[in-house]
């Protein structure tokens, strides 16, 4: 949103268009846009006060960037201390112009994380009504378990696409199924590489998705989203697009359930071989 160059009215209109499509969750992080995007979104919420009750705000904290917006940060690092999480929540609430965050995620694993301190901080924020639910982003299964045993989490935000399938092999998606956590998926179209990359693997995957799209009379993007949605973890892809047309392509995947053999055709194209 920081790069879109939109005025407040355009931001309000985009949010309303997303809501009209049934998209009601908006994913943020304090660092996005050089610590500016939360405030841009908050301006839209303030301009149209009725929007807040119709949507869910997700945001993330824990990454400290060296930037003029945060002059006290001396080195890029991760921080999950009570003081930092609490300060980030207060800053996000001010920027977003809201009284609560629906879901707060720890953005990256912190090697110095004290799980008891984090969960105590989460509990205090929930008790104060400032954060309703908690999760993690880009954590390993063991790192998530350290927190989930102490205070139930609601999601794990991970990268997953037909070109980035590590979560299928490393136990991340298995854990989500086991714990009943619906994973949020960032970069579901591999940052556009599904359409633009010219390496052999991308060409294979693009060909398999094109066949799937043609067979179901949908776009290749819709086929890619449907492939992700087919997993029993019930993933929630993040579109990351300013184009309402692209968001509509993602929503269209909700009406397409591909069968297992078609799913494995795409898997095979990505791996370059049959299942073992």
Catalytic residue among 32, 78, 225, 264: 32
d(CA 146, CA 119): 10
Q: Is 111 left (phi over 0), alpha (psi -120 to 50) or beta?
A: alpha
Beta strands in the chain (DSSP E): 25-27, 56-61, 63-64, 77-78, 101-106, 131-137, 155-159, 184-186, 236-237
The beta strands (E) that lie in 36-96 are given as 56-61, 63-64, 77-78
Count other Cβ atoms within 10 Å, centred on residue 22: 9
CB 64: neighbour CB atoms within 10 A? Answer: 19
Q: Is-contact 153 199, C-beta < 8 A? A: no
Question: Active site includes 35?
Answer: no
Q: Which residue has the tokens 């055709």?
A: 265
Contacts of 90 (CB under 8 A, 6+ apart): 130
Residue 44: which residues within 8 A CB-CB, separation 6 or more? 8, 11, 12, 15, 51
DSSP bridge partners of 237: 185
Q: What does the alpha-carbon distance between residue 60 and residue 106 come to, in Å, rounded to a whole number?
A: 6
- Beta-strand pair 101-106/56-61: parallel
Tell me which residues are annotated as active site: 32
């Amino acid at each position: 949103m920081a790069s879109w160059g939109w005025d407040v009215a355009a931001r309000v209109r985009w949010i309303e268009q997303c809501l009209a499509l049934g998209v009601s969750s908006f994913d943020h992080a304090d660092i996005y846009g050089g610590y500016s995007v939360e405030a841009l979104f908050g301006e839209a919420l303030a301009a149209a006060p009725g929007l807040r009750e119709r949507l869910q705000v997700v945001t993330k904290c824990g990454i400290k960037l060296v930037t003029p917006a945060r002059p006290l940060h001396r080195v890029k690092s991760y921080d999950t201390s009570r003081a930092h999480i609490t300060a980030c929540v207060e800053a996000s609430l001010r920027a977003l112009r809201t009284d609560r965050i629906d879901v707060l995620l720890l953005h990256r694993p912190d090697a110095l994380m004290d799980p008891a301190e984090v969960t105590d901080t989460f509990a205090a924020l929930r008790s104060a009504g400032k954060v309703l639910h908690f999760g993690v982003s880009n954590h390993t299964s063991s790192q998530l378990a350290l927190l989930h045993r102490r205070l139930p989490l609601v999601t794990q935000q991970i990268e997953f696409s037909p070109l980035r399938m590590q979560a299928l092999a490393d136990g991340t998606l298995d854990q989500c199924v086991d714990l009943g956590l619906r994973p949020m998926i960032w970069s579901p179209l591999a940052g556009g590489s599904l359409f633009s990359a010219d390496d052999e693997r991308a060409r294979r995957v693009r060909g398999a998705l094109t066949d799937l799209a043609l067979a179901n009379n949908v776009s290749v993007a819709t086929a890619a989203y449907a492939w992700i949605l087919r997993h029993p973890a019930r993933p929630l892809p993040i579109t990351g697009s300013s184009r309402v047309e692209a968001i509509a392509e993602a929503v269209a995947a909700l009406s397409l359930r591909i069968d297992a053999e078609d799913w494995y055709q795409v898997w095979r194209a990505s791996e370059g071989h049959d299942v073992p």
